[in-house]
Every structure is written in structure tokens, then in C-alpha cells.
Amino acid sequence: MSLLSSVFGNRTQVINLDSDTFNEQMKNDKDAVLIDVRTLAENEEQRIPNSILLDIMSPVFVKELDKLDRSKSYYMYCRSGSRSHHAAKQMLQMGFEKVYNLADGIIRWNGEVE
């Protein structure tokens, strides 16, 4: 561990939340932005309301992330939690500070879907 990371912490550590905690925290966060990192086809099949689609497989994914307001809180999800975990880690490496992952993805989501 470097001196800087021991002083400032490890900014690449993704916070994984279970469905209930994710939903509750997001509802109480005035700066919350919900991001679906799945494909368009997956998003059209089922999605969490008010989510923004940013497909992690898109060649412009990182460019789209870079346009986001770093002062907001980002709640990421995918099908099972893997792709969104990687997307959240990418965001932390880009300087985002408040990034949360739906640990088991939409397949274990207990909240509303459309």
C-alpha cells in the first residue's frame, strides 16, 4: 500500500449493497443517479424505473461516464452485479467518489420494475 492510499484510502473499493439497502439508500439520497449498464435489449425487457442506460459494452462507455457530474451519487446495476461492479470500479478510478453497486443485480431486485 502506498503512502497516498494509506492516507486517502483506497478509492477503487466498490461498495456493494443488497437490494433493500440499495433501494433505501437511493431513495434517501437527493443526489442519486441510477445507471443500468446492461444492453439496450436487456433494458427494454425489464428495468428499474428512472434508470439511465449506459451500456458497458459500448465503445463510448468511458466517454459517456466522463460527462457525468462527479458530485452526484451513482447507483449502478446490471443483471447479476458483475458488469455494474466493473463499471463502478471504473468510475472510482476516474475520480467519482459516491458509487454504489447493486450486489446481485436486477435478478435479485426487490423493488419496482417496468
Residue 114 domain-assigned?
A: no
Question: pLDDT by residue for the chain (114 residues), tens digit each?
Answer: 344 444 444 556 899 999 999 999 999 999 999 999 999 999 999 999 999 999 999 999 999 999 999 999 999 999 999 999 999 999 999 999 999 999 999 999 999 999
Residue among 84, 69, 88, 81 nearest 108 (CA): 81
Q: What letter would DSSP give residue 51?
A: P
Partner residues linked to 17 by β-bridges = 102
pLDDT at 64: 97
Q: What's the angle, vertex CA 83, arms to CA 107 and CA 8, rounded to 5?
A: 120
Residue among 102, 29, 31 nearest 72 (CA): 31
Residue span of the structural domain in which 18 resides: 3-108
Among the options 26, 78, 102, 103, which is catalytic? 78
pLDDT at 13: 85
Residue 35 domain-assigned?
A: yes
Partner residues linked to 33 by β-bridges = 74
| Domain count for the chain | 1
Contact of 37 with 106, CB cutoff 8 Å? no
pLDDT at 73: 97
Contacts of 2 (CB under 8 A, 6+ apart): none
Residue 55 domain-assigned?
A: yes
Residue 113 domain-assigned?
A: no
Q: Is 78 a catalytic residue?
A: yes
Residue 30 domain-assigned?
A: yes
pLDDT at 12: 65
Here the CATH number for the domain that contains residue 82 is: 3.40.250.10
